[in-house]
Structure 1
Amino acid sequence: MQTRVLVAKPGLDGHDRGAKIVARALRDAGFEVIFTGIRQKVDDIVAIALQEDVAVVGLSILSGAHVALTARTVEALRAAGADDIAVIVGGTIPAADVPKLKEAGAAAVFPTGTPLDDLVTEIRVLTGAPA
């Protein structure tokens, strides 16, 4: 069975090229990927994650609201009893915000420019997915 990953675009950010590239890289690496499309509400992302029984929720955020959106997503997953779902974050993220995202509950952070191979490897480690 393939490891399932949800790639989501929370908030008002309408740019999805990076998220689609990540989704394709994960799919090509053997993950089953569900892509939400743009402008998703946190509650809808959590509902999809639960319905699709994913191991990882990947948030792609370019809007600058990455800390707040990550914290809200982690809190909503915990409230739904799904704290076993790892939340990872990628996008335009200043280095100074990486510790803030991890404190908010992000299992991993991938700023713009992270090599796709590194992202795939990190998600395999997080989920125990085979190489």
Structure 2
Amino acid sequence: MRRRVVLAKLGLDGHDVGVRLIGKHLAQAGFEVIYLGKRVPTAHIVRAAVQESADAVGLSCLSGGLGHFASLTVEGLREQGCDIPVLAGGIDEPAEIDRMLAAGVAVHFGPGASIDGIIKAFDEATAEEHA
């Protein structure tokens, strides 16, 4: 069974080339990718992840707010009783990145992260579900 990943852009960020590229590479690696688009509210991401029985959620934001929105996504999933790993990529203040990791985001990818490293992280985050 293919592992299912929900991807979304957060906040006001409209730059989606990177997340779409990651989605393409995840699909080539055998994942089913559901891309929700740009400027997606966290409640919509949580709802889609639950409805789609996602094995992981990937979030992207380059305009600031990544830590805040990623933390809200983790919190929303927990409120729904879901333990879906959340992986986040983008830019934010170091304290905000630390806060989101402490809140339960599995991993943060900053500028210059390799596609191979990102695919490996999604593979590892979803491996337990399909072991």
How does the TM-score come out when normalised to structure 2?
0.91
Residue 24 of structure 2 is matched in structure 1 by: 24
Q: Alpha-carbon deviation of 1:127?
A: 1.1
Q: Deviations over 1:88-116 (max 9, x none)?
A: 10012455544322112110111121100
Residue in 2 aligned with 1:8?
A: 8
SS at match of 1:100: helix
Same amino acid, percent of matched pairs = 40
Please name the residue that 2:122 is paired with.
123
In the alignment, is residue 103 of structure 1 matched against residue 105 of structure 2? no
Give distance in 1, aligned partners of 2:116 and 2:94. 20
CA offsets, 1:50-88, max 9 Å, x none?
A: 111101110011111011101111111111111x10011
Structure 1 unpaired stretches of 5+: none
Find the aligned partners of 2:30 and 2:68 in 1 and give their Cα distance.
31
Cα distance in 1 between the residues matched to 2:61 and 2:90? 5
RMSD: 1.6
The letter for the 1-side match of 2:120 is T
Matched position secondary structure for 2:20: helix
Task: Give, in whole Å, the separation in 2 of the partners of 1:94 and 1:111.
Answer: 11
- Report if aligned partners of 2:68, 2:96 keep a CA contact under 8 Å in 1: no
> 1:89 and 1:7 mapped to 2: Cα distance?
10
Letter in 2 for 1:86: P
Deviates more, 1:29-38 or 1:96-105: 96-105
Consecutive unaligned residues of structure 2, counting only runs of 5 or more, are none
TM-score, with structure 1 as normaliser? 0.91
| 1:128 partner SS | helix
